[in-house]
Every structure is written in C-alpha cells, then in structure tokens.
Amino acid sequence: VLPTNPEESWQVYSSAQDSEGRCICTVVAPQQTMCSRDARTKQLRQLLEKVQNMSQSIEVLDRRTQRDLAVCGEDGEPDEGTGVQVQAGGGEP
C-alpha cells in the first residue's frame, strides 16, 4: 500500500556523481518514522551502509581515473616530468 503522497514517505540517503557533476546513482529509503519498528529496518540500514561504501569507492575510483588521465597528454603519450622514458630500439644501452 503506497501512501497518498509518496514524496513525503521517502528520503534520499546517498547519491553519487560522475566527474562532470551528473548524478549517476541515488539511494532512497523509507523515512525512519515510516518503519522504525519494522523488522526490515535493520536490513535497510545494512543495505544503506553497503551502498554508501560502494558510492565512496566509486568516487575514489573516479578521482584516480581522472588523475591517471591527467598524467597522459592529449596525444596519449605521458606528459613530460612523469619519470617515464622511451628509448628507440636498435641501439646499445
């Protein structure tokens, strides 16, 4: 049975954004007053913790990816100063 105004019975617990600030994931759950004595509340809280951990992991991976992409220049080659050296083959070291 849905409440007469569904927007009032749900709350946003977590959301994740991509590097451009677009929302890619939003987690909503019943407001605590709706099911504070419900047996499923514990399961919802555990799920919330897992989703929040996953959201944090996604954000960390996104930052790492952006950092790694910044290391490479637009031509796909490492930028100067990265410590990467490329030598042409055929000569002696």
Tell me the H-state helices in the chain. Answer: 6-9, 32-35, 40-71
> What is the tens place of the pLDDT at every residue in 46-93?
888 888 888 899 999 998 998 888 887 655 555 555 444 444 444 444
| CA–CA dist 53, 30 (Å, integer) | 19
Report the predicted TM-score, pTM, of the whole model to 2 decimal places. 0.41
Amino acid at 83: G
* Banded pLDDT at 37 (limits 50, 70, 90): low
| Average of per-residue pLDDT across 5-32 | 73
Please give the biggest Cα pair distance in the chain: 79
Q: Between residues 23 and 55, which one has the greater pLDDT?
A: 55
The residue extents of the domains of the chain are: 6-71
pLDDT for 17 beyond 60: yes
